[in-house]
Amino acid sequence: MTTLEQEFVDFFAECKQQGFSAAEMRAICQPLLQRRSNRCSAVACVVLAIFGALCLLYNWCDEFSWFVSAIGRLLLIQVLPYWDWTPLYNSRCLIERKVDKVDGGSVAPITKIPAGYDTKAGNCVLCETLERIPTTTNITFSTLESMYLERGWPVIVTDSHQPRTLDTLLNQMYNSSSDFLESDPCDVSTNLMLKKLFNLELALEKIKHTATAQNKWFLQLRNCQRRAVKASRRFVTRPYYYPLHLEPFYSSWALLSQNYVYAEFNEIYLHGLIFVQQLSGYFDIRLRPKQPCPNRCPVVNIRLGAGECLVFSTDLWIFSYGTETVESKAASVATVLEIDWQL
């Protein structure tokens, strides 16, 4: 290497003695400079290609995105002794907004929901003109937020997901981890067995082996244990418009029935942003406005079909479901996701 450098020095000295100008020297050395530039460009292209591949994996492969998130959490835990990032993690927003002031410089008081009211009276103006639930397709979550959710309107995404049969869902439940099958669900309601004897794996076995002609059953359960919720993410898929920045659902429901006519709608308590995904058959759904809005807002009844998803916020609506008539031999199967949603 030293010999090569000395040869370059001698070469430049000889060219200088012969009176070559700087422009002529650049022209002579251009192939060497071009080769170096090509090498740098090739390295940059390889780096960009790897980065692009990782971005695609993160966006399209749930397993990879969860792996990266787990690595990130572990790194943050290691950094904790040197930098306390917990205040940023627990705060609702990273950049504080200015607080409105009233006369005298004091902070404006926070409006509280009156006792006995389920929502603020000012929210009633959002739903008083709602005649039916709008439908949409090929949408992004930001559009859902700006056009519907921020206005308190429920919306049906008609191309939300691929329909799935009851047998497919049961197989996916069986193939999930034991954390799901051995969990103790809450808010269980079923006519398959006595509530005090309820066992999730046994209930699924009863559904799978009951003769079709005798099928007049229903099962409602909520996964509220942390391990069960995590395990349910293997078969409760997120729709295509579910953004990466939105927190994973903290609770999930499974609603299943076949040839069963509900005497009255089942009202279940939900909280946050709600995704009701109809996988098979249909459910009749009723959204009732919270107090003090019933006198100003309508009760909305819909029939949710397979492949459709109802998205709404519980800030304004109370959810109940059932089947008023049996018009199909297919089992009615739906999943409900509860998500902590903050604007």
pLDDT tens-digit series, residues 288-337? 999 999 999 999 999 999 999 999 999 999 999 998 887 777 889 999 99
Residue showing tokens 């966006």: 59
Band the pLDDT of 107: cuts 50, 70, 90.
Answer: very low
Kindly give the pairing relationship between strand 317-322 and strand 282-289: antiparallel
Band the pLDDT of 101: cuts 50, 70, 90.
Answer: very low
pLDDT at 343: 59
Q: Where are the domains of the chain?
A: 1-110, 121-339
CB 339 within 8 A of CB 250: yes
What average pLDDT does this structure show over 227-234?
Answer: 86
The CATH code that applies to domain 121-339 is 2.60.120.650
CB 335 within 8 A of CB 160: no
Residues 6+ apart with CB under 8 A from 176: 231, 232, 234, 235
Min mean pLDDT across 6-10, 148-152, 261-265 is at 6-10
Q: How far is CA 154 from CA 36, 234, 303, in A?
A: 59, 26, 14
> Is residue 95 predicted with pLDDT exceeding 90?
no
Question: Count of CB atoms within 10 A of residue 55's CB?
Answer: 10
**pLDDT, greater one: 208 or 289:** 289
DSSP label of 122: G
What are the DSSP calls for 179-237, one per residue? HHHT---EEEEESSS-GGG--HHHHHHHHHHS-GGG--EEEEEEE-SHHHHHHHTTTSP
Rounded to the nearest 10 degrees, how much is the dihedral formed by the CA atoms of 172, 175, 176, 182?
A: 110
Question: Count of CB atoms within 10 A of residue 264's CB?
Answer: 8
Write the Ramachandran bin of 151: left for phi over 0, alpha for psi from -120 to 50, otherwise beta: alpha
> Is residue 340 predicted with pLDDT exceeding 80?
yes
- CA–CA dist 279, 273 (Å, integer): 19
Mean pLDDT, the chain, integer: 82
Q: How far is CA 43 from CA 32, 38, 49, 55, in A?
A: 17, 9, 10, 18
DSSP label of 93: -
Rounded to the nearest 10 degrees, how much is the dihedral formed by the CA atoms of 27, 32, 37, 43?
A: 170
- CA–CA dist 122, 139 (Å, integer): 29
What average pLDDT does this structure show over 63-76?
Answer: 81
Residue 336, judged by CB atoms within 10 A of its CB (0-12, 13-18, 19+), counts as buried
